[in-house]
């Protein structure tokens, strides 16, 4: 029953339609999920989700973030962000070990319904930023988890009131930690038409190639020294640092979702020096590319049967 998979490891996220939202435009659903083990299906869905771990421990992956989780862990996953929780000791038949409280949120429906009553610009912004994933700790963790537990027994206006309180608390950055860096290109591409969007589009289209500082300066219509000052003031990073962030972000996706070797991944991301690629990857992700892939592979091989999605 627990034989290891024979096929090569590819951690490709699957799109999921949540049954609670399949036939209706519900704004939110809160439920307690209890299974022998946490899901082994790396997946994503349109709904955001707030997950509080009641029992169990293991590894969670949200976007490019790979961290251990234990009882009391509280995280928020934005819309369409690939994620999975892997249990420890998957080969042991211990039931009721993996328990969580999950609040699923249809962010589109929430904003549309609240827009009748209030300005939802800040709420829209929160849901957009939450695509980076959020880890919630400290007093904020205690308050939100207490509300989630109470919501299981609530109905109607009381339930709605608790939901709105959770949403309001989530928007406060106190005791919150981003799990992933913002996408460096999309962060600046939304600027008004002109030099910045044109430059970001150039980087997006060409980061796999050998882009030089002079190439970027020419696209921006600036002399080299002026471009360096302009770019540093815009992003608080040098052009080289920014380009590395873009490339390493893409490298994480390839390591998760393809069978390419580390060397092949480096070349696909625009690196010709593999040692430099390894150094950049470790600086950004706190582990080498090989360690990053192994952390995914080992957990995936330990848990070779699925128990649905969470």
Q: How confident is the model at residue 1 (pLDDT cuts 50, 70, 90)?
A: very low
| Dihedral over Cα of 50, 117, 23, 131: its sign | negative
pLDDT, one tens digit per residue, over 46-59 is 999 999 999 998 88
In eight-state DSSP terms, residue 132 is G
Query: Domain 14-180 adopts which CATH fold?
Result: Jelly Rolls (2.60.120)
- The CA distance from 5 to 306, in Å, is 12
How large is the average pLDDT for residues 197-223? 91
Task: Look at residue 227 and tell me whether its pLDDT is greater than 70.
Answer: yes
pLDDT-derived band at 187 (thresholds 50, 70, 90) equals low
**Across all residues in the chain, what is the average pLDDT?**
85
- The residue whose two tokens read 């999950």 is 102
Q: pTM, whole model, 2 decimals?
A: 0.74
In angstroms, the CA 38 to CA 88 distance is: 9
Same fold, 14-180 and 184-297: no
- Reported confidence tier of residue 29, pLDDT bands at 50, 70, 90: very high
Q: What is the pLDDT of residue 263?
A: 96
> Which residue do the tokens 């044109």 mark?
198
- 102 three-class SS: strand
Write down the CATH number for the domain with range 184-297: 1.10.10.60
The domain segmentation of the chain, as residue ranges, is 14-180, 184-297
What mean pLDDT comes out for the span 192-220?
Answer: 87
Better-predicted residue by pLDDT, 157 or 191: 157
Structure tokens at 130: 């939450």
pLDDT band at 87 (very low <50, low <70, confident <90, very high): confident
- Structure confidence at residue 24 as a pLDDT band (50, 70, 90): low
Q: What is the DSSP letter of 280?
A: H
């Amino acid at each position: 029953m627990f034989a290891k998979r024979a096929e090569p490891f590819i951690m490709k996220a699957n799109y999921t339609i949540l049954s609670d939202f399949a036939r209706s435009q519900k704004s939110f659903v809160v439920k307690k999920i209890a299974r022998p083990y946490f899901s082994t299906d790396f997946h994503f869905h349109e709904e955001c989700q707030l997950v509080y771990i009641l029992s169990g421990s293991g590894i969670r992956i949200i976007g490019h973030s790979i961290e251990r989780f234990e009882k009391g862990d509280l995280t928020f996953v934005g819309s369409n962000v690939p994620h999975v929780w892997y249990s420890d000791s998957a080969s042991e038949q211990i039931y009721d070990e993996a328990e969580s409280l999950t609040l699923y949120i249809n962010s589109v429906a929430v904003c549309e319904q609240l827009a009748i009553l209030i300005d939802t610009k800040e709420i829209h912004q929160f849901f957009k930023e939450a695509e980076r994933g959020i880890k919630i700790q400290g007093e904020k963790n205690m308050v939100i988890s207490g509300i989630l537990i109470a919501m299981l027994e609530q109905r109607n206006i009381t339930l709605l009131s608790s939901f709105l309180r959770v949403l309001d608390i989530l928007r406060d950055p106190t005791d919150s930690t981003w799990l992933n860096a913002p996408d460096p290109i999309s962060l600046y591409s939304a600027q008004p038409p002109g030099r910045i969007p044109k430059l970001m589009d150039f980087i997006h289209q060409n980061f796999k190639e050998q882009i030089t500082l002079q190439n970027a300066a020419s696209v921006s219509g600036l002399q080299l020294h002026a471009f360096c000052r302009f770019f540093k003031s815009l992003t608080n990073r040098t052009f080289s640092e920014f380009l590395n962030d873009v490339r390493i972000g893409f490298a994480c996706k390839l390591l998760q979702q393809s069978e390419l070797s580390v060397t092949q991944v480096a070349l696909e991301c625009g690196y010709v020096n593999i040692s430099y690629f390894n150094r950049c990857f470790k600086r950004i992700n706190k582990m080498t590319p090989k360690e990053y892939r192994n952390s995914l592979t080992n957990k995936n091989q330990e848990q070779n049967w699925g128990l649905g999605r969470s």
